[in-house]
A and B are shown apart, each in its own frame.
Chain A
Amino acid sequence: MTEQTRVIGKPVSRIDGVLKTTGGAHYSGDRKSSDGALLHGVLVKSTVAAGYIAGFDTAEAKQMPGFVRFLSYEDGDLIYRIDAPNDDSFVVNEQRTPFIDNQVHFVGQHIGLALAETLEVAEAAAAAILVEYEEDSRHIALDDEDSDLDKPDASGTGEALQVHRGDFDEGLADADVSVSATYTTPVEHHNPIEPSATTAVWDGDRLTVYDATQGNVNDRNYLAAGTGLAKDQVRVLNPFIGGGFGCKGYAWPHSLIAAAAARATGRPVRLVLSRSDMYTSCGHRPQTRQSITLAAKSDGTFTALKHETLSHRSPIGDHMEPCGMPSMVLYDCPNLVVTHSNRVLNRPSPTPMRGPGEASGAFALESAVDELAEKLGIDPVELRKRNASQMDPRNSRPWSTFNHPECLDRGAERIGWSRRKSPGQWREGNELVGLGVATTYYPAYRSPAAARVTLFPDETAKVEISVQDIGTGLYTILAQMVAEKLGLEAADVAVEIGDTDLPEGPLAGGSMTTASVSGGVAAACDALQEKRAQASGDEAISAEAGSEESLGFGGDNDMGKSFLSFGAIFAEVRVDKDFGIVRIPRLVGVFDAGKILNPKTARSQMIGGMIFGVGMAMLEETFVDPESGRFINPSLGEYYVPVNADIHDIDVEFIDEPDYDFNPFGARGIGELGTVGTAPAIANAVYNATGIRVRDLPIRLDDLM
């Protein structure tokens, strides 16, 4: 494709905009119940962190008119034993088959499902079911040394997690200046406004599931395994998903519980998770404690970097937050140590959350870079530029495009970096003003994807792929891609996604959907154009093709290049000097993410990503009761996410250099890039404003008083 594009790169408004603004977009919990047959399910969750269920008392629930049935491990063969992770057809972050036995591993584990004719009765019944436990000793604290500690070799995306490069001690000895500090990030929850919801309908030996999932193909394969069906007997539909941010990425037990309940009762079952269910049912960003030592010559040249992470997983989960990843790729440093340890705790299972490892890791690394800059007396923008990795430090390959220094320069100009003063020196009235910077980045991933494209005699087209639009704008992007390739307008292209009966595409995670579907859509359009040349024009013509290409996982490929997006985030903060209240009047993000296919939706996604980072920096924390292992604040009233009044001017600029080596449309993913560097940019600005270095997120009033 040439760089001259007609539809790609234009700010097309979302083609699903009317549906989403009129209530016409149907999400998984919106399936109609007009035939009256639908049963409502409500989960019963464990209230202890470790032990065994000794029995259920369902007497009160059973007396309620409209109560239908209670399901639990006592129903035996309700669910097929899933041999994950040995079954490579799907990915889960919680390996245990739901209801497989009476063991309890954490507070909030699903131990039963109350089914009733109405939601009101199901809720009342679930609340009335009494559970008796035999409690076991539990491990709750990150430093509980009696619990197991893993040192996993590789991350979920295949990245090495225990890395030694050069000689760290020698590098440290060579340095003129060094900083050592420990940084912590708390448990955070995705909190999409749509809670996960599953509606399961059986028709003979076929199962149809309307599921709020970021990965319908993955979900289908999980459901097939758990119901003992073949994949083609299961259909997952998810035309609209109310946000995910990772918690709907991999498959989770509640989907399978709903499917099994529908089979057991012979009725369609709807299970909508409550907001508090969302805190223990589908993952969270785990707590991390990261120790960093960063050393440099007096001219700023990095000589040694050590980044050690302690995090946690559940006894039945396997997620490891790969915080050391930014330390492996952002800067040239000849002597590097990266380690990761995972404590096994009786707490719910973590999972990726927007920028998993990158965001939590960048907070530590980019704070440390700022601390070192201060100690060296070198401008933090300059220090980053001086050490920016010109090639991929993991394998000495060139980056496919490289604009890290330019992003820093442009951002500095846009925020007015030259106004920056020494820490605590910029006062306006009662406010202390500060500017901060951090590098942001996200690896570029690409997965196999197929697509079917049909051209109709009236010169309209249709594209079909089993992918999902979690709010990124994929509907619109797909229409633009097909329109560009076939010489149509975006409005002439119908997009059908969110249905596993369509050609298979990737999971919406790792910022990879757009890059992945590019290959399949381009191939299908090319195949269609060949047919079109020979067609009469009187009949619809259709072509299906796919791309098997997988790129970026483990950083390895045979193209001799590395694919990664860089950017820079700048923050201006104003801190009330008496009360410590932090306001963020302006954030600037400059991003090099390849070709921007739709600047309107892309800008929105970057703004949203940066707001996610504002939450991480200033507000978000799920508290864990150290005694019981319970999450203390599982609600949107007590877990704070940014509200409209928290957000002011957010300025986004794209470098917009196409990366045609990565895919035919030249785009790299943008879903996580805005989030990664935002928290450290804000923390660094807070330091610049106040002279107070906050190393534990979120930043609180009392840190600054």
Chain B
Amino acid sequence: MKRTTSSFEVNGTRISAEFDTRTTLLDFLREHLDLTGTKKGCNHGQCGACTVMIDGQRSLACLTLAALCDGRSITTIEGLANGDKLHPVQKALIEHDGFQCGYCTSGQIMSAVAMAKEPWGESDDEVREAMSGNLCRCGAYPNIVAAVQEARAKIAKEQPDA
């Protein structure tokens, strides 16, 4: 068993840790930092439940070795709200009932937040395509699309240059 040391920023906090070289970012977040909002659905990059942002880009934490995150900045679901003030995507998801069991929800939200900054078009079909890496077995897709559309419009209005 080989061990390694890495430093990175998680939700704005600087972390330095020593861990098994085999540790994925997903297991590091969950087992070492107790940030369990990021979920393990398949551990193979097939379901999207572990989606986090690395340097602002959506990434699958289960396919990312923690050791490769050295020097990078990671945002998880726990770091999204500003205190009690929910991010527009979180708010819209509640309003539009964009989840049922809630297990894929962290990944859906992180994906949607990242996608709002990606060059997608305005149509519902673009959202469906952009969000298709995040499986929802409860079948909340139409509500997720409605929520993402509302949140995207709100974000664009608040941050016209973003």
Contacts and interface: CB of A to CB of B under 8 A. Distances in A.
A21 B99 contact: yes
B138 A22 contact: no
A608 B100 contact: yes
A13 B143 contact: no
Sort A-B residue pairs by CB-CB distance and give the 9 closest, nearest first. Answer: A23-B37, A242-B103, A471-B101, A608-B139, A611-B139, A20-B102, A471-B100, A17-B94, A30-B36
Contact of A18 (B94, B104, B131, B137): B94
A643 B105 contact: no
Contacts of A272: 40
Contacts of B41: 193-195, 275, 636
B135 A641 contact: yes
B154 interface: no
B158 interface: no
Nearest to A21: B90
B93 A21 contact: yes
Contact of B103 (A64, A243, A601, A644): A243
A216 to B, nearest CB: 16
Given A604-B97, A636-B47, 15 more contacts: A21-B77, A21-B93, A34-B34, A65-B1, A119-B31, A191-B137, A243-B100, A471-B101, A601-B97, A603-B97, A608-B100, A635-B42, A636-B135, A644-B134, A644-B144
The winner among A23, A64, A241, A610 for most chain B CB atoms within 10 A is A23
16 contacts: A17-B93, A22-B81, A27-B36, A33-B31, A124-B22, A193-B39, A194-B103, A272-B40, A471-B99, A604-B100, A605-B100, A607-B142, A609-B139, A635-B42, A636-B41, A642-B141
Contacts of A19: 102
A141 interface: no
B78 interface: yes
Contacts of A21: 77, 86, 90, 93-94, 99, 102, 105, 109
A226 interface: no
A508 B136 CA distance: 19
A243 B97 contact: no
Interface string B78-118: 10110000100010011101011111111001000000000
By DSSP majority rule, is chain B's interface helix, strand, loop, or mixed?
Answer: loop
B120 to A, nearest CB: 13
B58 to A, nearest CB: 15
Interface string B27-39: 1001100111111
A600 interface: yes
The winner among B78, B97, B143 for most chain A CB atoms within 10 A is B97
Interface string B53-80: 0000000000000000000000011101
B36 A193 contact: no
A4 to B, nearest CB: 25
Nearest to A600: B97
A25 interface: yes
B44 interface: yes
A121 interface: yes
Interface in B5-50: 20, 22-23, 27, 30-31, 34-44, 46-47, 49
B37 A604 contact: no
Interface residues of B, number: 60
B132 interface: yes
A25 B102 contact: yes
Contacts of A195: 40-41
A33 B28 CA distance: 12
Nearest to B144: A644
B136 to A, nearest CB: 7
Contacts of A472: 100
Contact of B145 (A24, A192, A610, A644): A644
A691 interface: no
Contacts of B105: 20-21
Contacts of B140: 604, 607-608
Interface in A639-698: 641-645, 647, 649-650
A21 B103 CA distance: 10
A170 B132 CA distance: 54
Interface in A250-295: 272, 274-275
B25 to A, nearest CB: 13
A470 interface: yes
Contact of A242 (B20, B39, B81): B39
Interface in A597-630: 600-601, 603-605, 607-612
A29 B36 CA distance: 9
B66 to A, nearest CB: 11
Contacts of A644: 127-129, 131-132, 134, 136, 141, 144-145
Nearest to A638: B46
A275 B42 contact: yes
A66 interface: yes
B49 A193 contact: yes
A16 B142 contact: no
Contacts of A65: 1
Interface string A560-595: 000000000000000000000000000000000000
A64 B1 contact: yes
Interface in A400-450: none
B121 to A, nearest CB: 14
B97 A32 contact: no
Contacts of A637: 42, 44, 46
B130 to A, nearest CB: 8
Contacts of B44: 275, 635-637
A600 B99 CA distance: 12
Contacts of A643: 132-133, 135, 141
A682 B138 CA distance: 19
A473 interface: yes
Contacts of A120: 1, 20, 22-23, 27
Contact of A243 (B30, B31, B35, B137): B137
Given A272-B40, A644-B128, A22 B95 contact: no
Contact of B34 (A14, A24, A32, A636): A32
A331 interface: no
Contacts of B138: 243, 471, 604, 608
Contacts of A241: 101
The winner among A192, A272, A612 for most chain B CB atoms within 10 A is A192
A124 B22 CA distance: 10
Given A22-B86, A64-B1, A243 B37 contact: no
Interface string A19-63: 111111111011011100000000000000000000000000000
A16 B102 contact: yes
Given A120-B23, A274-B43, A647-B141, A193 B135 contact: yes
A106 interface: no
A636 B100 contact: no
A616 B90 CA distance: 30
A276 to B, nearest CB: 9
A119 B100 contact: no
